[in-house]
């Protein structure tokens, strides 16, 4: 697996995501993910499973330095003192003295000025509690604002990204700032496995539609993707995407699946005004 250099953060291109995973599911499947070779783990305070993620990593026998660990601050903890306390709480649950990447989870849902949020991110980074800082679900204008307010470089913007959603503008803006995009919802809420084009491309490579989509994401410059499953067989399938490459024509054909109504995740009060 290759790593993506995002303003000094070397982030493994394929991560194991824990969104909507219960603590019990994390305890069961994350050890298997680490055995298979996953070294990038993504969680969040809002997921309610940081303690289980921390327990698995702590007992994995894998050096902490070998695992790239991301967590996120929820929107109700954006005030300076609340954000500091949120990070300390996450570190206790995760059984570690630092996380590799800390993200602001959503741009909306809070009246805390962006300068205060970014200032607190910089503070926990200077204190050594986080190695790198980033954002999630930001539009291009918000990315620009975050970069302008931050002393430390912003490593990534974690956003919904799959074949049905064109994220060209956000990706180009990220590249302009030396940032990466981290894709979530790669399977488009279950649409990917039944997409004929993706299955046809997969048949040529001896791969599934899911593997083709994950490969399409990580084959793009400056793109990282999260994969999530509670099934061990699917876990191995998701990891086996670095032994083939898509042609330029196949990459373009997959990009052609994007449509104006392709966005799935758009919670009122949290989401920004997305780039057209």
**Residues 6 or more apart whose Cβ sits within 8 Å of residue 59:** none
Taking 90 as the threshold, does the pLDDT of residue 33 lie above it?
Answer: yes
Q: Confidence band (pLDDT; 50, 70, 90) for 52?
A: very high
Give the mean model confidence (pLDDT) for residues 39-49: 98
The 10s digit of each residue's pLDDT in 60-104 is: 999 999 999 999 999 999 999 999 999 999 999 999 999 999 999
Q: Which of 255, 244, 235 is nearest to 171 (CA)?
A: 255
pLDDT in tens, 217-246: 999 999 999 999 988 889 999 999 999 999
**CA distance linking residue 29 with residue 61, whole number of Å:** 16
Beta bridge partners of 160: 184
**How many residues are present in the chain?**
276
Using one digit for the tens of pLDDT, what is the confidence trace for 148-168?
999 999 999 999 999 999 999
Q: Which of 68, 110, 43, 47 is nearest to 272 (CA)?
A: 110
Provide mean pLDDT across the span 9-38. Answer: 97
Structural domains in the chain, CATH included, are 3-188+221-244 (3.20.20.100)
pLDDT tens digits, one per residue of 103-125: 999 999 999 999 999 999 999 99
CA-to-CA distance for 12 and 20, rounded, in angstroms? 22
> Which residue of the set 47, 161, 184, 185 is catalytic?
47
What lies within 8 Å, CB to CB, of 156 at 6+ separation is 6, 9, 11, 101, 103, 134, 135, 174, 179, 180, 181, 182, 224
Mean pLDDT of 247-268: 97
Q: pLDDT tens digits for 174-222?
A: 999 999 999 999 999 999 999 999 999 999 999 999 999 999 999 999 9
**Distance in Å from the first CA to the final CA of the chain:** 33
Structural contact between residues 47 and 84, judged by C-beta atoms closer than 8 angstroms: no
Secondary structure letter of residue 9 according to DSSP: E
Q: Is 105 annotated as a binding residue?
A: yes
pLDDT value of residue 87: 98
47 catalytic? Reply is: yes
Residue 132: predicted pLDDT: 98
- pLDDT, position 36: 96
Tell me: pLDDT of 276 over 90: no
């Amino acid at each position: 697996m290759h790593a993506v250099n995002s303003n000094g953060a070397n982030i493994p291109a394929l991560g194991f995501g824990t969104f909507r995973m219960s603590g019990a599911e994390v305890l069961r499947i994350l050890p298997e993910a680490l055995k298979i070779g996953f070294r990038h783990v993504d969680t969040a305070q809002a997921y309610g499973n940081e303690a289980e993620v921390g327990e698995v990593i702590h007992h994995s026998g894998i050096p902490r330095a070998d695992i790239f660990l991301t967590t996120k601050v929820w929107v109700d903890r954006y005030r300076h003192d609340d954000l500091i306390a949120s990070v300390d709480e996450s570190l206790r649950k995760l059984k570690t003295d630092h996380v590799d990447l800390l993200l602001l989870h959503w741009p909306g849902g809070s009246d805390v000025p962006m300068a205060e949020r970014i200032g607190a991110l910089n503070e926990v980074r200077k204190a050594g509690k986080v190695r790198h800082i980033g954002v999630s679900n930001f539009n291009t204008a918000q990315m620009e604002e975050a970069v302008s307010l931050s002393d430390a470089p912003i490593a990534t913007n974690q956003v919904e990204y799959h074949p049905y959603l064109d994220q060209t503008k956000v990706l180009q803006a990220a590249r302009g700032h030396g940032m990466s995009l981290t894709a979530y919802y790669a399977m488009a809420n279950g649409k990917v496995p039944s997409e004929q084009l993706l299955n046809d491309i997969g048949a040529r490579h001896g791969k599934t539609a899911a593997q083709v989509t994950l490969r399409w994401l990580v084959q793009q410059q400056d793109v990282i993707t999260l994969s999530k499953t509670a099934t061990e067989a699917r876990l191995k399938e998701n990891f086996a995407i670095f032994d083939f490459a898509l042609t330029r024509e196949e990459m373009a054909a997959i990009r052609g699946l994007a449509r104006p109504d392709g966005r799935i995740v758009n919670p009122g009060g949290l989401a920004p005004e997305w780039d057209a």
